[in-house]
């Protein structure tokens, strides 16, 4: 029954046109970025940086490098927007449309209903990350040759140069880690969706908290306290591009994100459980 109900949630989720906004925008953004790199001199600073570090530049101006460059802004700005949109809709939209009242006239418990919905939202987050990775490689591959991976992420003090195979594995690992960001932000918006608010409000509240955390994390004077900020742990996918990935830090962030997710779900469930569902 649980899997049937989960399948139904996925039907509902992927039956809506707005669910696909994220996929379409990824296509658009990644194509634009790849085209700008292809038809301008935007890759020149990269070449200079590689050459000054003693590497031949051309093997690293590759589809893999461009796909990874595209990943950073999309993961920081677009991904939170689309997972938050879906997370904020999951309960609040059904309450607004009146279908929640139809569902809750059935013998399903509120806890189980939320678990099924949360899981559907998490699956959406994973699918979105997979699409992001596949689209990125596909579109960068259209305009650039296959080759090594060059990564420069000054915020994380990462300057990495990898062979094609090693680079591809890191690219895939980064997307696996990125799913934790997608699921966590979805879970935050989902928590607000369980409150008696409109779907747009749930999405905006979720995104607002992410932005507030991001702002706090980037105030230089708060550097000593950044472990406490939600977004600091969301960036763990960037760590796999380090020469020697700090696995202790990855583990720490993963466990904290698991805690954040459990807390968001527990708060959402507690609020939803006490709510009166009326027309």
Partner 1 sequence: MTKRFGTRVAVDELTLAVPRGEIFGLLGHNGAGKSTAIGMMLGQVWPTAGTVCVCGHDVQRQRRLALAKVGAIFETPACYDYLSGGRNLEIFCQYTAPVSRERLREVVDWVGLGTRIDSRVQTYSHGMRARLALAQALLPRPELLILDEPADGLDPEGMHELRQTILRLHAELGLTLLLSSHLLGEVEQICTRIAVLRQGRMVFEGPLAAAKQSRNWVRLVTDDFVAATQDLEAAGLIGGARDGRYVALTPGVATCAIARRLVESGRPVHELAREEQTLESFYLELMRAGGEEAAGRGDQHPSPLKSENRCPKSE
Footprint of partner 1 (CB under 8 A): 1, 4-5, 8, 11-12, 15-17, 97-99, 101-109, 113, 274, 276-279
Min dist CB 130 to partner 1, Å, is 24
Min dist CB 265 to partner 1, Å, is 20
For residues 9 and 181, which CB has a smaller minimum distance to partner 1 in the complex? 9
Min dist CB 199 to partner 1, Å, is 15
For residues 94 and 217, which CB has a smaller minimum distance to partner 1 in the complex? 94
Secondary structure (H, E, C), the chain: CHHHHHHHHHHHHHHCHHHHHHHHHHHHHHHHHHHHHHHCCCCHHHHHHHHHCCCCCHHHCCHHHHHHHHHHHHHHHHHHHHHHHHHHHCCHHHHHHCHHHHHCCCCCCHHHHHHHHHHHHHHHHHHHHHHHHHHHHHHHHHHCCCCCEEEEEHHHCEEEEECHHHHHHHHHHHHHHHHHHHHHHHHHHHHHHCCCCCHHHHHHHHHHHHHHHHHHHCCHHHHHHHHHCHHHHHHHHHHHHCCCCCHHHHHHHHHHHHHHHHHHHHHHHHHHHHCCCCC
For residues 96 and 164, which CB has a smaller minimum distance to partner 1 in the complex? 96
Min dist CB 196 to partner 1, Å, is 12
For residues 7 and 48, which CB has a smaller minimum distance to partner 1 in the complex? 7
For residues 136 and 199, which CB has a smaller minimum distance to partner 1 in the complex? 199
For residues 40 and 274, which CB has a smaller minimum distance to partner 1 in the complex? 274
Min dist CB 183 to partner 1, Å, is 24
Min dist CB 100 to partner 1, Å, is 8
């Amino acid at each position: 029954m649980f899997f049937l109900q989960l399948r139904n949630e996925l039907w509902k989720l992927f039956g809506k046109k707005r669910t696909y906004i994220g996929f379409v925008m990824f296509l658009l953004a990644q194509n634009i970025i790849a085209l700008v790199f292809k038809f301008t001199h935007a890759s020149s600073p990269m070449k200079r940086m590689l050459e000054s570090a003693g590497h031949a530049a051309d093997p690293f101006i590759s589809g893999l490098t461009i796909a990874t460059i595209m990943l950073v802004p999309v993961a920081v700005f677009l991904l939170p927007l689309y997972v938050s949109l879906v997370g904020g809709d999951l309960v609040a939209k059904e309450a607004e449309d009146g279908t929640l009242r139809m569902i809750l006239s059935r013998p399903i418990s509120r806890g189980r209903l939320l678990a099924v919905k949360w899981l559907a939202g998490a699956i959406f987050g994973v699918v979105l990350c997979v699409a992001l990775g596949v689209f990125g490689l596909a579109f960068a591959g259209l305009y650039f040759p296959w080759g090594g991976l060059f990564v420069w992420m000054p915020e994380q003090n990462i300057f990495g140069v990898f062979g094609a195979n090693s680079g591809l594995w890191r690219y895939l690992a980064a997307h696996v880690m990125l799913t934790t960001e997608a699921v966590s932000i979805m879970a935050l918006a989902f928590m607000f969706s369980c409150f008696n608010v409109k779907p747009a409000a749930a999405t905006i509240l979720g995104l607002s908290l992410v932005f507030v955390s991001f702002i706090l994390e980037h105030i230089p004077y708060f550097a000593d306290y950044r472990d406490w900020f939600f977004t600091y742990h969301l960036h763990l996918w960037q760590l796999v591009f380090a020469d020697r990935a700090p696995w202790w830090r990855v583990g720490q962030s993963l466990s904290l994100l698991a805690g954040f997710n459990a807390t968001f779900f527990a708060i959402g469930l507690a609020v939803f459980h006490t709510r009166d569902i009326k027309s």
